[in-house]
Amino acid sequence: MPSNQTKRLAQGAMMIALFAVLIAIAYYVPIISLFATFLAPLPLAWYSASYDRKSSIFVAIIGCIITLFFGGLLIVPFALIFASIGVVMGDALRLKRSKIYLFMSSSLAVLIAFALQYLVSLKLFEVDFIRDSFKMLRESYDRSIELSISMTGKSPISDEMLNNIFTTMELSIPACITIATFFYAYIIISINLPVLKRLGIEVPKFSAFKNLRMPRAILWYYLIVISINLFVRPEMGTALHVVCLNLSLILWLLLTIQGISFIHYVIDALGMPKIVKILATVMAIPLYSFFVLLGILDLGFKIRSLVKGKIQK
């Protein structure tokens, strides 16, 4: 028992030190900061996968406190995000949860940590970094328009249209942040799980992307949002408009991903080279409406069985 306790303390101290070093590199070193950013949750994920939740949370808290000596209070919120995803990811691995559970819990951990960071920044320091970012972006657009007017004699876009664009962007912030955090969590998981596997941690696997099947309830949510936009037509800025706008963005993305998965399935069934998959995925950006339609058909009508039958014939 004493030897196990000593081993736990020693490994905890090592993981705290490694976590603090990675956070410092991610915060201060420009060239390798991106690499360190993706690996920062790794020490806490390994420790959390090896030991109980209480010990893991304690180690994470100490790790965040240690970062105070590197960058003061400003670096703590930065460290908190990586500590959260590391502990949650490792805890899911220790409990042998599915990869979907791992992905969802890690994404929610990042989202909650970011929301808390934003609230602390807003309430304690009176700094709204989201609004300040939009202000800087608007000033940049205004300077670009002034330059265009001085060169061509006319504005490329009307003030009303520009105001509507920025208003829509501001109202869609919740969806954009949610999508960004889920995407970031997916990258973190994809990079760290192979490393954790090499370190002796048992990790789950995703099924092939071409076999992706999202819940059919997404179609009902999409139908409800479209119906509200068509028949109710909420005014811009109202609570209902904000909810519908953000849900629309998230549902469009999910259906686009489902459409890309269907295209990958067809490409594999036809035996085409992998470069075709890459080209099809890139084409999903300008042709997202078509891929949304494919996603709807794939979820609602199970067209994969029809495609499989046609190919086999």
- The CATH number that applies at residue 116 is 1.10.1760.20
Length of the chain in residues, anyone? 313
> What is the per-residue pLDDT across 247-301, written as a single tens digit (0 to 9) for each?
999 999 999 999 999 999 988 888 888 888 889 889 888 888 899 999 998 888 8
Contact 77, 121 (CB under 8 A): yes
> What is the per-residue pLDDT across 20-59, written as a single tens digit (0 to 9) for each?
999 888 888 877 888 888 899 999 999 999 998 899 999 9
Same domain, 249 and 233: yes
pLDDT band at 1 (very low <50, low <70, confident <90, very high): very low
Domain count, the chain: 2
> What is the per-residue pLDDT across 195-231, written as a single tens digit (0 to 9) for each?
999 988 888 877 788 888 888 889 999 999 999 988 8
Same domain, 263 and 284: yes
CA 35 to each of CA 39, 40, 181, 192, 213: distance values in angstroms, whole numbers, following the listed order? 7, 9, 17, 11, 32
Same domain, 188 and 232: no
- What was the pLDDT predicted at 139? 81
Helix axes 75-94, 53-66, angle to 10 degrees: 160
Q: What percent of the chain has pLDDT over 90?
A: 23
> What is the per-residue pLDDT across 225-247, written as a single tens digit (0 to 9) for each?
999 988 888 888 788 888 999 99
In a domain, 148, yes or no: no
User: Residue 89: CB partners within 8 Å, gap ≥ 6?
Assistant: 41, 45, 48, 49, 102, 105, 106, 188, 189, 192
What is the phi/psi pair of residue 67, to 5°? -65, -15
In a domain, 163, yes or no: no
Full domain range(s) for residue 232: 207-313
Same domain, 266 and 182: no
